[in-house]
Amino acid sequence: MRIVRGEMAERETGGGDASIQTTPGEEALRIALEPLTYGEAPRILILGDTRCGKTEIAKRIVAAYLVAEPRGIVIVGDDKNPRQPQFSGQYYTNPDEIAKRPPRKEPRVIVCRGNQTEITGGSNAELYESIARYQWKLTAEGPDGRPSLAVYDELDRAAAGQQWQVNPSAIGWTYGKGGGVGAGSVALTQETEGVPREPFNQATCIIVVRMMGNPVRLLVKRGYTISRRPDGSLDQRGAARIIESLPGTELPPNQRGYFVVLQRGIPFNGKVYRFDSRRVVAVK
């Protein structure tokens, strides 16, 4: 892997809390996008409390993915704010419009805004499932298929009681089978307990900002929070204690954004990450 630096068009994240020892967030991008280096698509979960930086992290992943995957296209489900989209790109209501109005070659980001006449932006389940179905179509484009990355800004709204609202679920397919055919996923949620098992079981990494209580216990139960003590023994809640202590909404917005990266079966590395500049590092 080599480092490619590019400008990030988002606002500065600010100086943060100087008392917390952090590792540059660009190192976390290496972990998140590592599957690309061996020909697979990443399947990423971003978890944690609202207003603690999940969307900003997702934007960094999108920017890095576009550099690391020159043929890749990103499709975002961004219907949360009817006044202002959170992601920049070419705007559509849903992927069905793409056949009628083909996108330009650049930017390679399709932002699906959903039905903005309804308070929830329409049915998140149908919007998100249509994005995953579009990814399926992209796998058959050209001789090798076209790589893609779906971004689901509120994954829990496509599920209920840990079950997909649509069955069979195309989103479930992308997490279970998409990695081998270039269909990657980035899913954000603060309602961890409502998300089905596939994103947890098949995630190549989980990024976590500050959260507490039952959502953290769920990560412990599923084996994501194990760390190694100095004596070599395993601590089942090692990462959990760090997650619960991360700064959050008690800080101004431009000082938030602390997170950890968890990988199932790999002990937690003990690092707290944060993006603190307008520079982004991509894996290529």
Residue 277, CA atoms < 13 Å, CB-side half-sphere: 9
Sign (positive or negative) of CA dihedral 264, 267, 270, 275: negative
pLDDT at residue number 7: 33
Query: Within 10 Å of residue 34's Cβ, how many Cβ atoms?
Result: 16
pLDDT at residue number 18: 59
What confidence tens digit (pLDDT) does each residue in 116-137 have? 766 554 457 999 999 999 999 9
pLDDT at residue number 16: 58
Walk me through the domains of the chain, giving residue ranges and CATH numbers: 3-283 (3.40.50.300)
Alpha carbon 125 to chain centroid, angstroms: 17
**Residues in Cβ contact with 167 at an 8 Å cutoff, skipping those fewer than 6 apart:** none
What's the token pair of residue 109?
């980001």
Per the CB < 8 A criterion, the answer to whether 215 and 192 are in contact is: yes
Q: Within the chain, which residues score under 70 in pLDDT? A: 1-18, 117-123, 277-284
The CA distance from 45 to 117, in Å, is 29
pLDDT at residue number 144: 87
**Residues in Cβ contact with 152 at an 8 Å cutoff, skipping those fewer than 6 apart:** 77, 128, 131, 158, 171, 185, 186, 187, 188
What are the start-end ranges of the H helices in 71-222?
A: 124-138, 170-177, 197-202, 214-221
